[in-house]
Amino acid sequence: MAKVKGPTPQSEDFSQWYLDVIQMAELADYAPVRGTIVVRPYGYALWENVQRTLDGMFKATGHQNAYFPLFIPMSFLQKEAEHVEGFSPELAVVTHAGGEELEEPLAIRPTSETIIGYMWSKWIRSWRDLPQLLNQWNNVVRWEMRTRPFLRTSEFLWQEGHTAHATREEAEQETARMLGVYVDFAKNHAALPVIPGRKTEREKFAGAVYTTTMEAMMKDGRALQSATSHFLGQNFARAFEITFQDKDLKEKYVWTTSWGLSWRILGGIIMTHGDDRGLVLPPRIAPIQVVIVPIYRAESREAVLAAADRLARELAGLGLRVHTDDRDQYTPGFKFHDWELKGVPFRVELGPRDVEAGTAVLASRLGGKETLPLAGLAQALPERLDAFHDELLRRAERFQKERTRAVDDYRTFKEAVAEGFALAFHCGDPACEKAIQEETKATARVVPADAPAEEGVCVRCGRPAAYGRRVVFARAY
* 381 vs 427 by CB, closer to Zn ion: 427
* 44 vs 410 by CB, closer to Zn ion: 410
Instruction: From 248, 264, 156, select the one nearest 214 (Cα to Cα).
Output: 264
The least distance separating Zn ion from the CB of residue 156, rounded to whole angstroms, comes to 34
The least distance separating Zn ion from the CB of residue 134, rounded to whole angstroms, comes to 39
Where does this chain touch Zn ion (CB under 5 A) — which range of 57-65, 194-202, 219-227, 455-463? 455-463
Where does this chain touch Zn ion (CB under 5 A) — which range of 27-35, 401-409, 445-453, 461-469? 461-469
Of 31, 93, 102, 461, the one binding Zn ion (CB under 5 A) is: 461
Work out whether 457 is an interface residue with Zn ion (CB under 5 A). no
* 93 vs 432 by CB, closer to Zn ion: 432
User: How far is Cα 42 from Cα 2, in angstroms, rounded to an integer?
Assistant: 21
Q: Which residues, including other chains, have CB under 8 Å from residue 152's CB and lie 6 or more apart?
A: 35, 144, 146, 477
* 37 vs 471 by CB, closer to Zn ion: 471
Backbone angles phi, psi at 443, to 5 degrees: -125, 160
The site for Zn ion, by CB under 5 A, has a size of 5
DSSP assignment string, 79-147? TSHHHHHHHGGG-EEEEEETTEEEEEEEEEPS--HHHHHHHHHHH--BGGG--EEEEEEEEEE---SS-
Work out whether 37 is an interface residue with Zn ion (CB under 5 A). no
User: How far is Cα 143 from Cα 27, in angstroms, rounded to an integer?
Assistant: 22
Backbone angles phi, psi at 55, to 5 degrees: -60, -40
Q: Which of residues 170-199 bind Zn ion (CB under 5 A)?
A: none
The least distance separating Zn ion from the CB of residue 457, rounded to whole angstroms, comes to 8
The least distance separating Zn ion from the CB of residue 467, rounded to whole angstroms, comes to 12
Work out whether 432 is an interface residue with Zn ion (CB under 5 A). yes
User: How far is Cα 146 from Cα 89, in angstroms, rounded to an integer?
Assistant: 13
The least distance separating Zn ion from the CB of residue 95, rounded to whole angstroms, comes to 43
Work out whether 217 is an interface residue with Zn ion (CB under 5 A). no
* 234 vs 412 by CB, closer to Zn ion: 412
The least distance separating Zn ion from the CB of residue 230, rounded to whole angstroms, comes to 25
- Strand pairing class (255-262; 155-165): antiparallel
Work out whether 407 is an interface residue with Zn ion (CB under 5 A). no
* 36 vs 412 by CB, closer to Zn ion: 412
Please, what is the end-to-end C-alpha distance for the chain in angstroms?
A: 39
Distances (CA, A) of 5 to 159, 260, 298, 341: 35, 37, 28, 10
The least distance separating Zn ion from the CB of residue 430, rounded to whole angstroms, comes to 10
* 261 vs 427 by CB, closer to Zn ion: 427
The least distance separating Zn ion from the CB of residue 458, rounded to whole angstroms, comes to 3
Work out whether 444 is an interface residue with Zn ion (CB under 5 A). no
Q: Which of residues 103-142 bind Zn ion (CB under 5 A)?
A: none
Q: Are 165 and 157 in contact (CB under 8 A)?
A: no
Q: Are 382 and 314 in contact (CB under 8 A)?
A: no
User: How far is Cα 70 from Cα 76, in angstroms, rounded to an integer?
Assistant: 13
* 159 vs 200 by CB, closer to Zn ion: 200
User: How far is Cα 269 from Cα 271, in angstroms, rounded to an integer?
Assistant: 6
Q: Which of residues 412-431 bind Zn ion (CB under 5 A)?
A: 427
* 261 vs 459 by CB, closer to Zn ion: 459
Of 280, 458, 465, 472, the one binding Zn ion (CB under 5 A) is: 458
Counting DSSP H helices and E strands in the chain, the numbers are 14, 23
Work out whether 436 is an interface residue with Zn ion (CB under 5 A). no
Exposure pattern of 389-419 as b/e (b: 16+ CB <10 Å)?
beebbebbeebbeebbbebeebeebbebbeb
Q: Are 198 and 211 in contact (CB under 8 A)?
A: yes
Q: Under the rule (CB under 5 A), what is the footprint of Zn ion?
A: 427, 432, 458, 460-461
